[in-house]
């Protein structure tokens, strides 16, 4: 392993409780930390995790997936995919809403920088337009994940129990999804 210092970005989050290391699909390293944690503590933490981080980056380079666009659709064309993605998401939401009985307000398709989806406290759901290019089982995982946030706006055990109702292998799907680049 390289002995060069590890380059990373720090993101402070007011609700974060722990220091966390995230390796993004482009192999960049982001450290998420509570506001109260010092830079010195973060630097020490990253140094102790340096071997693991470098191993994960190497693994990512060898296992990263790229999604494939449906025939006739350009992968990077947001405008050309937005309507199709919205139709697709609405169809899948209707399917899973029958099971859960949850009501959402607005659904939007966006070009997000680091997420596949999000749920607001007002009940609005947003999804990355490239969800359209994922294998169906991964897209369904994202849709169910955000749908379950309508009742549990956190990642508690209750939240994961809800996800498990329709996606019993959610851990496997999440693992595979994490290897896709946005």
Neighbours of 22 (CB within 10 A): 15
Range of 32's domain? 9-63
Q: What's the whole-number mean pLDDT along residues 151-165?
A: 96
Question: Is 108 a domain residue?
Answer: yes
Q: What's the whole-number mean pLDDT along residues 27-52?
A: 89
Q: What is the spatial order of strands in the sheet that 9-13 belongs to?
A: 9-13, 29-34, 20-23
Residue 29's beta-bridge partner residues? Answer: 23
pLDDT tier at 166 (50, 70, 90 boundaries)?
very high
Which pair of tokens denotes residue 5? Answer: 């210092």
Residues 85 and 58 in one domain: no
Question: Is 158 a domain residue?
Answer: yes
pTM above 0.95, yes or no: no
Residues 82 and 172 in one domain: yes
CA distance 28 to 75: 22
Question: Is 2 a domain residue?
Answer: no
**pLDDT computed for residue 71 by the predictor:** 44
Q: At what angle do helices 157-166 and 136-148 cross, to 10 degrees?
A: 140
**pLDDT tens for residues 100-124?**
999 999 999 998 888 999 999 999 9
**pLDDT computed for residue 77 by the predictor:** 65
Number of separate domains in the chain: 2
Question: Is 68 a domain residue?
Answer: no
Number of Cα atoms under 13 Å in the Cβ half of residue 52:
9
**pLDDT computed for residue 5 by the predictor:** 74
DSSP secondary structure, 48-108, as one string: HTHHHHHHHHHHHHHH-B---PPTT--TT-HHHHHHHHHHHHHHHHHHHHHHH----S-EE
Q: What's the whole-number mean pLDDT along residues 128-146?
A: 94
Question: Is 146 a domain residue?
Answer: yes
Q: What's the whole-number mean pLDDT along residues 24-52?
A: 88
CA distance 34 to 16: 5
Q: How far is CA 8 from CA 15, 20, 47, 147, in A?
A: 21, 12, 11, 32
**pLDDT computed for residue 86 by the predictor:** 93
Residues 166 and 114 in one domain: yes
DSSP letter, residue 151: T
**pLDDT tens for residues 57-113?**
887 666 555 555 454 445 556 777 888 899 999 999 999 999 999 999 999 999 888
**pLDDT computed for residue 3 by the predictor:** 56
Residues 18 and 85 in one domain: no
Residues 49 and 89 in one domain: no
Question: Is 35 a domain residue?
Answer: yes
pLDDT tier at 133 (50, 70, 90 boundaries)?
confident
Residues 57 and 83 in one domain: no
CA distance 157 to 115: 21
pLDDT of residue 1 exceeding 50: no
């Amino acid at each position: 392993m390289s002995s060069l210092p590890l380059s990373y970005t720090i993101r402070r989050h007011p609700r974060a409780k722990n220091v966390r290391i995230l390796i993004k699909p482009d192999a960049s390293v982001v450290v998420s930390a509570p506001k109260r944690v010092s830079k010195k503590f973060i630097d020490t933490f990253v140094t102790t995790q340096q071997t693991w981080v470098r191993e994960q980056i190497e693994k990512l380079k060898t296992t990263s997936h790229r999604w494939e666009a449906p025939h006739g659709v350009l992968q990077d064309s947001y405008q050309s995919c937005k309507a199709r993605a919205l139709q697709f998401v609405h169809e899948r939401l209707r399917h899973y809403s029958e099971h859960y009985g949850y009501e959402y307000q607005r659904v939007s398709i966006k070009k997000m920088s680091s997420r596949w989806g999000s749920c607001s406290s007002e009940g609005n759901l947003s999804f990355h337009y490239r969800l359209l290019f994922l294998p169906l089982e991964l897209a369904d995982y994202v849709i169910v994940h955000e749908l379950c946030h309508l009742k549990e706006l956190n990642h508690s055990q209750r939240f994961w129990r809800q996800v498990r109702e329709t996606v019993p292998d959610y851990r496997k799907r999440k693992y595979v999804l994490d290897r896709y680049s946005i």
